[in-house]
Amino acid sequence: MVQNDPSRIDEALETLPSAIGSMELGQASEPVIEELSGGIVESWVRGLVASDPAKARDVLTSDDPRLRFLKPATRSSQLSAARSELERRRREDETAQRLDRLERQNDIRGRIDDNTARLANGETPVDPVTRDETIAAYGPEKGADVWQEIRAQTGHARAMGSVAGRSPDEQARMLTAARPDPADEGYAAAQRRYTQLQDAVAADRKRLDADPAAYVTSTAKPVAAAFAAAETPEDFGRAVSLSLAEQERLGVPPSKRRAAPKAAVENLARMIGETSSTRERAEMLASWSTAIREPGPRTALLADLEKAGLPEGLRFLQPTLEAGDMAKAGRMLTALEADIALKGDTKRDLDDALLDAEPDAFERSLAGLTGDARPLAEARERDGTRRRLAAARMQAGEDADEAVRKADEDLLAGGTRVTREGLGAFSVPAGADAYKVETGLERLREEIGDRVPPATLARLLDPAGELEGDMAERMAGELLDDFADEAAWIDHPDGGYGLLVTLMDGTRGFLPGEDDKPLRVTADEAIRAHDAGWARRIDDVLSGEFGP
């Protein structure tokens, strides 16, 4: 009774003598009362230790007369028990408080991260963190420091939000407008804001460069909505077109534009991977990739699908997918998925055949023209794909040389690649006459003055407009012959061929045309240039103006 309800200790001790007296024990009643009282007090103390150890400690260290019934050893052990229970409860309370603080801190960090992302995208924060709750979660001293960090973080995010989704020209105008005048009042604060804006612009460009497709999906709602609603290849192609247009507006170079954000790519890779037959997977790849009109981003999508788990070398199927040869695409995809490893003499025969075929001649020429080592890395990756395609053919019984030759044909989808010193390095699509393309491009290069206005070259020569009068145009006109002598045709990332020239600052780039965009020529245009040139030479022969 007393252990469960320590408040009844006095009642229990007072009623004990009368209860014992009714038993008519005589003188023997005193020891019995003493012993039973000791049990009652011990029960009382144990109840206090369990329910209120602080009170138990205070009672056991006091002169409470009721303790005269308690044995010294019991009193000492119960005092230790009370102190142990107090320590246990103290640790438990501290743990609970620490967990509560951690939970509140995690909540604050999560909301800060979410709202920082919202602010960085120009959106309104939801349930913003307050100073009071920060102090409560972190304590007065640390909380004050954390609050200052939060203010700096949200200030930076707000600055990023103000520049997010803006073109380089728009960001430059914002910086110009925000640049403080040292003579103005409040210059120090204005300079801090200006520096913050500079940092925001730099961070924004870094974020854009890291994943252009993901960036425009987060900053341009129409792009995000288009990808979210893309359930068919046609819808996907439209979403990609919106994304690429936004990337172009933001100044992303063509070679760095991506077709789709990572989440969309991973979802597409999962859909394709779950398709049962290789032929169906090839057809899905064709329908989804060719829905993208631009060849560069189309290749980038296939490369991204490789990273998302589809077979390595997938992007080298692009010519076959574009040609619509699903039987060949399915066969190539089967070889890539199988990744056959040959051994012994068979492997040595394949190694020799690959080496004899000079697999990287085209890429070495391209790297030499552009000064860019990336084609060499591309050659190594392409060679790995050739090896897997040829290995599958050898496993089916073909000899090494034939297997490598057919693997090359598969990779080019019936096209060819031309490497000619003094003219360039370019691919000729299937069905096109390589000789006519080559001679047509040579003629177009010689007639460069008819295709590129001197005013366009003048802007390259004098972008700041510092030369007087028409000096820049006259100088640019004189450079046309030099451009023709040194220019080289290479595959343009947006399709067709571009003319690679050395620009005024010493760098190499594509020569612009009338609209200041890189001059591009298709294989058909090159063939027409050849045919027109050939007709002219025939006319010269017939008129006696050509030859002896």
400 and 431 together in one domain: no
432 and 514 together in one domain: yes
Residue 114 domain flag:
no
383 and 451 together in one domain: no
- What the block records as the tokens of 351 is 């190694």
Check residue 246 and give its pLDDT: 92
Per this entry, what is the length of the chain? Answer: 548
64: domain range?
6-70
443 and 499 together in one domain: yes
Q: Where are the alpha helices (DSSP H) in 211-317?
A: 212-219, 221-228, 233-249, 262-273, 278-289, 295-307
Residue 469 domain flag:
yes
E strand or H helix that includes residue 417: strand 416-420
438 and 529 together in one domain: yes
Around 307, how many Cα atoms within 13 Å sit in the side-chain half-sphere? 12
The count of domains in the chain is 3
457 and 513 together in one domain: yes
CA distance 74 to 38: 10
457 and 532 together in one domain: yes
Q: Are 400 and 390 in contact (CB under 8 A)?
A: yes
517 and 461 together in one domain: yes
Check residue 364 and give its pLDDT: 86
Check residue 546 and give its pLDDT: 37
CA distance 287 to 294: 14
- What the block records as the tokens of 309 is 């788990």
Residue 447 domain flag:
yes
For every one of its 548 residues, what pLDDT tens digit does the chain have, with 9 covering 90 and above?
455 455 666 555 555 555 554 555 454 456 656 667 667 777 777 888 888 888 888 888 888 777 777 788 888 888 888 888 888 888 988 888 888 888 988 998 899 888 888 887 777 888 888 899 898 888 888 888 888 888 878 877 787 778 778 888 888 888 888 888 888 888 887 888 888 888 888 888 998 998 899 999 988 889 999 998 888 898 988 898 899 899 989 998 877 888 888 888 898 999 999 988 899 999 999 999 888 888 878 888 888 899 899 999 998 898 888 888 899 999 999 999 987 888 898 999 988 988 887 767 888 888 888 888 888 888 888 888 999 999 999 998 999 999 998 998 888 887 888 888 888 889 998 888 989 999 888 888 877 766 666 666 666 665 555 555 565 556 655 666 666 667 889 898 878 898 888 766 677 788 777 666 777 888 998 898 888 766 555 444 444 443 33
528 and 483 together in one domain: yes
End-to-end CA distance of the chain: 134
Q: For residue 297, which of 337, 362, 252 has the smallest C-alpha distance?
A: 252
Check residue 30 and give its pLDDT: 63
CA distance 333 to 336: 5
CA distance 44 to 351: 91
Domain-ending residue, one of 387, 414, 441: 414
458 and 535 together in one domain: yes
Domain-ending residue, one of 49, 70, 91: 70
Q: In this structure, which amino acid lies at residue 293?
A: R
Domain-ending residue, one of 45, 70, 95: 70
430 and 525 together in one domain: yes
Compute the Cα dihedral for 427, 433, 434, 438 and give only its sign.
negative
365 and 474 together in one domain: no
CA distance 409 to 167: 43
- What the block records as the tokens of 75 is 């009193």
